[in-house]
Amino acid sequence: SYSFCTLLLLLPSTYIMTLRIIAPSEIPRDCSEPVDAKALEQATVIVNEIKEGGEEVAKKWAIKLGDIKEGDEIWVPKDKLKEAYDSLEESVKDVLMRTKDRIFSFAKSQRDSLTDMTTSIPGGQAGHRVAPVKAAGCYAPGGRYPLPSSVLMTACTARAAGVPNVWVASPRPAAVTLAAAFVAGCDGFLQIGGAQAITCLSEGIICPPSDVIVGPGNKWVTAAKSLVQGKCSIDMLAGPSEVLVICDETCSPKAVAADLLAQAEHDVESRPILVTTSADIADQVNVELSKQLEVLPTKETASEAVKKGFCVVTRTIDEAIAISDSIGPEHLEIQTADCEAVAKKCDCYGGLFVGTHAAEVLGDYGAGPNHVLPTGGTARYTGGLSVFNFLRIRTWMNITDSQQSKGLVQDAVQMARLEGLEGHARAAEARLPQ
């Protein structure tokens, strides 16, 4: 006999409202290229033209691509950000402030964990000093939905790091998006998006040239970030959103389905993934997905994303962990009996959400840790946005006793000659005590 889920999966693809159940060997491996080739080609034209023509060309592209209308400015001054904030209902102002406070508090704790350091070396001392960059550009998407949370996540973190100049860019901003920039203490706002916004931030068109550009965006934003990287730093090359839930028979299928759909509604390219030790739970979650999708206002987007997702049923939790680590998801939820022990075994993820109550959406909306996270398996070598993206670690040394440093100098001479660099050797020899 067929389960309810299996019967659904036998329907034509237009009726599929559930995750397809696949074997571990069938897990797709299509997340390796963060930059879309066509988007890169198009972004290159925009970036190069704006570099050459400056503000007027940036405005031309912004009008052409629908960011602004003819006659509009491409930037919003600080006083207009305040006006947008003042226009909001008190309850909206309050939630923006509370969210800002939680994000800033977590980021400040991160900043305080990294301090200046001094240690002894032969003949003197060495150490490092921690300093923020001078200017940061923060991008927030403005496509399907206004995302004030992304403004707060990026700009508040920059401020917590101590960055003195912080600008936000987001196309067609709603009042709440402008208000979020005010709450975060931004110095200005570019009301444009895409490659044109990234170029303005990197080149210093209207705003100071950014030392670092951060924030999620569409494929043209990602392509432009790849082009300006080197002139300035970037946080990451982010792709479509992902969530992976590891669960067992103790989970709530209703909550798991809701969490999968929360990411699925972001974009048709989002990928919800379920890895469970229970075939019954797989079926129950799929039943919940089908029911919840029917009444979800964002069903059109979420249902397309669900088609790109999948479910794997494993024999053990350790197998589930191994599958998760091989994928390296942006968001990883653990909803199992011994969730803390399972979480400690997981290695590759952008953000980790432990236990039934730690819903990923709470991370999206400002529990504290940042919601700008690595996608496409890049969690194997990098982490999410943090104050560390805005900081420079500068090392120094000071040698005051040439007798005590003699051995160090002699080693430097020998190493230089091993490498065939006589000028280096002689520069070191000049420091030998007479």
Catalytic sites, residue numbers: 330-331
- Is the Cα dihedral 75, 80, 84, 87 positive or negative? negative
- Is the Cα dihedral 359, 363, 367, 368 positive or negative? positive
